[in-house]
Amino acid sequence: MLVVQNILANKEAYITALAKRNFDAAPVLEEVITLDENRRATQAKLDNILADSNKFSKEIGILFKNGEQQKANLLKEKTAQLKENSKQLSTELNDIQEKLVQTLYTIPNIPNDSVSNGQSDDDNEEIYKEGEIPTLQEGALPHWELAKKYDIIDFELGVKITGAGFPVYKGKGARLQRALINYFLDKNTAAGYKEFQVPYLVNEISGYGTGQLPDKEGQMYHVTGDDLYLIPTAEVPVTNMFRDELVTESELPICCTGYTPCFRREAGSYGAHVRGLNRLHQFDKVEIVRIEKPENSYKALDGMVEHVKDILRELQLPFRILRLCGGDIGFTSALTFDFEVFSTAQDRWLEISSVSNFESYQANRLKLRFKDANGKNQLVHTLNGSSLALPRVLAGILENYQTPKGIKIPDVLVPYCGFEYID
């Protein structure tokens, strides 16, 4: 959520920056400014009334003490009216403040200067590419066919149990999933990230804290009986652990990692690009989250990018990095880099990680601050990244590592799996 004072100071610059997102900010920023003016004016009236009420209360006590009951009773009548006025103004102030917050919720984050204009993912900029695309044998199969051939993932059984987008992993497929999770967590903890196990459901306040609500309302699974939401990513519960916290400067950076299943109600479509593991409603993901001093956050973002690069190098998967354009960047992000692995059997790139800096946008929603060396409270910067999302990594491994002998397991995963081939 944007800070009102920053909107007041940077209105025109914000309008220009948000145009990169194809978002017409002028009307809503003007509404924010008007609401803030009304809020301050109403607060001033309320403060004056409360000051008068306190003043009269002291005078009433003196008048009664001096035996001037008639004057005291007149002041009591005035005080009673002031109390009624203050109640009315308090209600008005709460209404204005609530409307101001709800209006701020509708404004996306200000994109970083390096974010380019663009309408969609077609306009994202490739900034890095590494790894050789393997040459597969004749008759190479996409991962959904390999899953059936080696009986390691059963999509039909998932449909029977739940519905489309909920696969069942079997035998060596399940063990490979577990191996990837453990490998990712080990890499993250070795890099200084503290591991957490967090709830898979969150309350509404947590959804608002990290920005999934109200922007993505309807995309999360809502447990209506308890008014809870199944998490779309570990980012939500992990970051909300620090909601309403004032941390010390010496505690920063705070680096967290965690494994969770993720649940997303994304609208499905048809075709090979969403078949198999390409798009799921339930999938596993290991996440990294950082809480940083503002001046360190972009250096931290670079470090997160290098960390994900190192994982993909060890998996020996060809990958590239995209800097997302304004038309594709997430609602809460200031800058996002997407990682994609190349699926040789599908002849296409598959997104497997997003690494983002939210600057102070989430922190303002979360009321997450730190006390600096001068004793002043400041908003932190929050960052997160997939490290990594499993389905498309698994798809890339199955397709790129297929051989006439079977599916070779990447060397780095063999100690975790306990086998070298799926055959």
Q: Residues comprising the binding site for ATP?
A: 264-266, 351-354
Binding residue positions for L-serine: 233, 264, 287, 384
Residue 274 corresponds to which amino acid?
V
Question: DSSP labels for 341-373?
Answer: EEETTTTEEEEEEEEEE-TTHHHHHHT-EEE-T
What residue numbers does the annotated binding site cover? Answer: 233, 264-266, 287, 351-354, 384
How far apart, in whole angstroms, are the C-alpha atoms of residue 45 and residue 30? 23
Residue type present at position 335 = L
Q: What are phi and psi of 233, to 5 degrees?
A: -170, 155
φ, ψ dihedrals at 261, nearest 5°: -70, 155
Count of Cβ atoms closer than 10 Å to residue 116 Cβ: 15
110 vs 105: CA distance, rounded Å: 13
| Beta bridge pairs of residue 406 | 403
Q: Which two tokens stand for residue 326?
A: 């304004």
One-character DSSP codes across 246-265: EEEGGGPSEEEEEEEEEE--
